């Protein structure tokens, strides 16, 4: 199967063969500064995405129909012949081989679907917020290396809107006050909230404009289609004063955000709607150039003003017509999350009316959470509209081992066999760059013809993480594949990150596991026996796997401590409380050994965005807020974006647990309301703090992996054996 809606073929026709090969060659030199110049790229026209690896004498040739196809071919070569993983982080050193290994015969792969999508509105709030060009440059290369052809591109959107709202009579103070703080812009762009942690500094707006220009220039150079946005009806409240006769309604509150943070919606039937749409599209094209794919998500996690199917159809039709008045070739890209999230409200009648109001083939659906629910199956393939099968995989940037390789594989096999011509792509819609990067590599790889079955793919993943073939490393990943990665991700995390209470769990965190922690302990054991090259990926594994095992143990040991408290056993409470706090210290020490898990880098990157001391403090508060309370004191999204990072564990999570265990030891069962008030006070005070945390890794990850295994393995094994026998 190879289906691409006609518009998306523009990426192949828009650049000459010379430009395609030059773009691929430049990428190779960036990724392999010593050896990249020795690879020859050859453009071979084709109506399908494909690449070929073969030797011409001693020279490696990578041929393909596009820069992305050639980049994907380069990545396959690095994986298969060099045992190299290129991660999505610039900081992870790429270990170039001494010389380029020869390819035996001819290796050819062809894309089975024409479109490969990456990113999510939320990723811009949970991971990409503080990136500057050097991080983006490498990440765009990573997307090309993994065959991505479409990427959501929302950086700098506020610069467009500032110019538009000026046209309609708003002053800059009002406009910047309407925008949220940087980490919350994804939810402002999706019309969930306005003004929270505003006003947005002008320096941010200007800096992001220039950054977006560089991002989309590089994406276009590599043949990645940037997905822009359009006007969906979301307007500033102040517009009601300037246009009192316009039909502008305040939408229902989103989560805990009450006035003045609620958003306002302009009826698409109003003439003002089309005027704003044309102004926005003109400014966007003037600033960023052309793109005929537009992300349009009018009612994300919100109720539309009217649920009548005719109203929904009219809103969709008028929205699309306002876009095509500017760009007759426009394709509307819609994330299907809202239809999953509010599935009780989006009945088949309402959904069909909404989707079918747009001409066939002009509404491209992202089936957003196929790892959990494939909506294409319950909607007659979105009632005839093309769709991209998408793997979500992560909520809030949480640091949980999650994913189900076997289930994803089965679902993709069935989609290829059963979905028909409407199935036009594969994508990843992760909310944050998480601790399971191989899952996204795997999903994007499945867009192409396969060289191996899944078990073979996992073995080779182990080899490239290790940098060599190591039986113990392979065994570690076989156990992960068979026993650990066995359930789709959900918005839940380990109890370490939970706000302490006598239930042992909170809304987003708790001790529940979909596997036996003893199996993860076996993985950890294999890592201690392996002798990998000191690659970035093996270092990450030697932190990530023990971290999860220790976190799981913490959650279950904490349950035992709570049970002892309820039983009046103060001696056991004191002993277990001390051990649990020691466990948090060891977790923090372990995760400090890898750059991925550092709160200090997150805060330092945020502060670097500031041009003045006041701006630096503003950005730091924004960076702290999103990870912890999310919104205001006691808001329902508290801890949604939790993650087990060094600094967060020692300075935030541990302090909450320390206060909890102090109450257990002094009061027995604590007054839950008083405890909650104390913890909420601490959380909100912490958001406003300023302080430095380590920006670079400390400690040797490989030694910590072995020493902590020696310290805890017998204890963890004994604990779960006793638990299973009770």
> Collapsing DSSP states into helix, strand and coil, what is residue 458?
helix
Calculate mean pLDDT across residues 602-616: 98
Query: From CA 719, how far away is CA 557, in angstroms rounded?
Result: 8
Confidence of residue 725 (pLDDT cuts 50, 70, 90): confident
Confidence of residue 293 (pLDDT cuts 50, 70, 90): very high
| Model confidence at 491: pLDDT above 90 | no
pLDDT tens digits, 342-351: 999 999 999 9
Which of 233, 213, 75, 101 is closest to 157 using CA atoms? 213
pLDDT tens digits, 45-56: 999 999 999 999
Site of tokens 């950005």: 619
pLDDT tens digits, 376-392: 999 999 999 999 999 99
| Model confidence at 17: pLDDT above 90 | no
Query: From CA 146, how far away is CA 448, in angstroms rounded?
Result: 11
- Orientation angle between helical segments 599-608 and 613-627, nearest 10 degrees: 140
Domains of the chain plus CATH, in order, are 6-110 (3.30.379.10), 115-451 (3.20.20.80), 491-513+535-725 (1.20.120.670)
| Model confidence at 8: pLDDT above 90 | no
pLDDT at 10: 37
Say which residues have a Cβ less than 8 Å from residue 520's Cβ, sequence separation at least 6. Answer: 401, 483, 484, 545, 548, 549, 552
Alpha helices in 344-404 (DSSP H): 348-356, 375-378, 380-383
Q: What are phi and psi of 111, to 5 degrees?
A: -70, 135
pLDDT at 566: 97
| Model confidence at 9: pLDDT above 60 | no
Contact 208, 181 (CB under 8 A): no
Q: Report residue 337 as tokens.
A: 């999350």
pLDDT tens digits, 85-140: 999 999 999 999 999 999 999 999 999 999 999 999 999 999 999 999 999 999 99
Calculate mean pLDDT across residues 165-170: 99
pLDDT at 14: 41
Compute how many other C-beta atoms are within 10 angstroms of the C-beta atom of residue 359. Answer: 12
pLDDT tens digits, 26-77: 999 999 999 999 999 999 999 999 999 999 999 999 999 999 999 999 999 9
Say which residues have a Cβ less than 8 Å from residue 630's Cβ, sequence separation at least 6. Answer: 637, 638, 639, 640, 641
Confidence of residue 540 (pLDDT cuts 50, 70, 90): very high
pLDDT tens digits, 616-643: 999 999 999 999 999 999 999 999 999 9
Compute how many other C-beta atoms are within 10 angstroms of the C-beta atom of residue 214. Answer: 16
Q: What share of the chain is helix, strand, coil (3-state, %, to 5)?
A: 50, 10, 35
Q: What distances in angstroms separate CA 628 from CA 259, 638, 676, one per listed residue?
A: 22, 6, 15
Contact 558, 522 (CB under 8 A): no
Compute how many other C-beta atoms are within 10 angstroms of the C-beta atom of residue 258. Answer: 10
**Checking phi first, is residue 98 left (phi over 0); if not, alpha (psi -120 to 50) or beta?**
alpha
Q: Report residue 326 as tokens.
A: 């500017």
Contact 129, 67 (CB under 8 A): no
Higher confidence at residue 588 or residue 1?
588
pLDDT at 1: 52
| Model confidence at 3: pLDDT above 80 | no
> Collapsing DSSP states into helix, strand and coil, what is residue 51?
strand
Query: From CA 398, how far away is CA 243, in angstroms rounded?
Result: 43
Query: From CA 158, how far away is CA 176, in angstroms rounded?
Result: 9
Beta bridge partners of 509: 493
pLDDT tens digits, 457-483: 999 999 999 999 999 999 999 999 999
Q: What is the mean pLDDT of the chain?
A: 96
Contact 599, 591 (CB under 8 A): no
| Model confidence at 4: pLDDT above 70 | no
Alpha helices in 328-436 (DSSP H): 337-341, 348-356, 375-378, 380-383, 405-418
| Model confidence at 2: pLDDT above 80 | no
Query: From CA 89, how far away is CA 138, in angstroms rounded?
Result: 7
Contact 390, 366 (CB under 8 A): yes
Share of the chain above pLDDT 70, in %: 98
493 secondary structure, DSSP code: B
> Residue 13: exposed, middle, or buried by beta-carbon count in 10 A (0-12, 13-18, 19+)?
exposed
pLDDT at 25: 98
Up-side HSE of residue 603: CA atoms within 13 Å toward CB? 23
| Model confidence at 15: pLDDT above 80 | no
Query: From CA 246, how far away is CA 266, in angstroms rounded?
Result: 8
């Amino acid at each position: 199967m190879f289906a691409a809606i006609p518009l998306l073929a523009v990426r192949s026709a828009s650049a000459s063969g010379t430009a395609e090969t030059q773009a691929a060659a430049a990428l190779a030199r960036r990724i392999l500064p010593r050896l990249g110049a020795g690879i020859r790229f050859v453009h071979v026209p084709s109506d399908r995405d494909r690449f070929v690896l073969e030797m011409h004498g001693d020279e490696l040739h990578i041929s393909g129909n596009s820069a992305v196809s050639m980049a994907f071919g380069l990545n396959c070569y690095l994986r298969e012949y060099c045992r190299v993983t290129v991660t999505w982080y610039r900081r992870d050193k790429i270990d170039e081989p001494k010389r380029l290994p020869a390819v035996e015969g001819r290796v050819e792969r062809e894309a089975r679907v024409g479109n490969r999508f990456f990113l999510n509105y939320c990723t811009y709030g949970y991971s990409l917020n503080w990136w500057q060009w050097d991080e983006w440059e490498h990440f765009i290369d990573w997307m090309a290396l993994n065959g991505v052809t479409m990427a959501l591109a929302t950086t700098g959107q506020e610069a467009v809107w500032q110019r538009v709202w000026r046209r309609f009579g708003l002053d800059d103070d009002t406009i910047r006050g309407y925008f949220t703080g940087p980490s919350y812009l994804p939810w402002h762009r999706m019309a969930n909230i306005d003004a929270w942690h505003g006003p947005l500094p002008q320096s941010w707006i200007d800096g992001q404009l220039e950054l977006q220009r560089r991002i989309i220039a590089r994406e276009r150079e590599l043949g990645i289609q940037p997905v822009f946005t359009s006007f969906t009806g979301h307007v500033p409240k102040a517009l009601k004063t300037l246009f009192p006769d316009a039909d502008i309604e305040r939408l229902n509150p989103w989560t805990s955000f009450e006035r003045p943070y609620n958003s306002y919606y302009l009826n698409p039937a109003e003439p003002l709607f089309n005027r704003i749409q044309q102004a926005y599209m003109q400014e966007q094209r003037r600033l960023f150039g052309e793109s005929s794919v537009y992300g349009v998500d009018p009612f994300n996690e919100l109720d539309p003003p009217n649920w009548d199917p005719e109203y929904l159809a009219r809103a969709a039709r008028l929205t699309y017509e306002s876009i095509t008045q500017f760009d007759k070739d426009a394709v509307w890209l819609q994330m299907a999350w809202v239809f999953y999230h509010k599935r009780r409200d989006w009945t088949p009648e309402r959904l069909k009316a909404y989707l079918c109001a747009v001409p066939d083939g002009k509404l491209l659906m992202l089936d957003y959470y196929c790892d959990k629910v494939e909506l294409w199956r319950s909607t007659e393939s979105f009632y005839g509209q093309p769709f991209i099968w998408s793997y979500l995989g992560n909520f809030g940037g949480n640091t949980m081992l999650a994913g189900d390789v076997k289930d994803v594989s089965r679902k993709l096999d069935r989609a290829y066999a059963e979905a028909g011509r409407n199935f036009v792509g594969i994508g990843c819609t992760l909310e944050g760059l998480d601790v399971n990067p191989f899952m996204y590599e795997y999903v994007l790889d499945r867009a192409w013809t396969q060289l191996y079955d899944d078990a073979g793919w996992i073995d080779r993943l182990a080899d490239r993480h290790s940098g060599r073939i190591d039986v113990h490393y392979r065994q570690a990943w076989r156990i992960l594949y068979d026993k650990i990665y066995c359930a789709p991700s959900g918005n839940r995390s380990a109890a370490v990150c939970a706000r302490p209470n006598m239930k042992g769990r909170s809304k987003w965190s708790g001790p529940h596991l979909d596997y036996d922690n003893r199996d993860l302990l076996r993985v950890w054991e294999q890592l201690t026996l392996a002798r990998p090259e000191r690659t970035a990926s093996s270092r990450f594994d030697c932190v990530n796997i023990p971290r999860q095992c220790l976190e799981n143990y913490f959650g279950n040991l904490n349950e035992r401590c709570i049970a002892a408290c309820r039983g009046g056993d103060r001696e056991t409470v004191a002993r277990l409380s001390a051990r649990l706090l020691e466990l948090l210290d060891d977790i923090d020490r372990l995760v400090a050994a890898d750059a991925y898990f550092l709160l200090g880098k997150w805060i330092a990157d945020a502060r670097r965005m500031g041009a003045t001391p006041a701006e630096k403090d503003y950005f730091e508060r924004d960076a702290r807020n999103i990870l912890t309370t999310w919104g205001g004191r006691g808001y329902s999204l508290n801890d949604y974006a939790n993650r087990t990072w060094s600094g967060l564990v020692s300075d935030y999570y541990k302090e909450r647990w320390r206060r909890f265990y102090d109450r257990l030891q002094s009061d027995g069962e604590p007054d839950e309301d008083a405890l909650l008030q104390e913890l909420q006070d601490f959380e909100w005070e912490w958001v406003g703090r300023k302080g430095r945390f380590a920006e670079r890794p400390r400690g040797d990850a490989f030694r910590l992996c072995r020493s902590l295994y020696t310290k805890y393995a017998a204890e963890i094994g004994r604990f779960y054996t006793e638990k299973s026998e009770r």
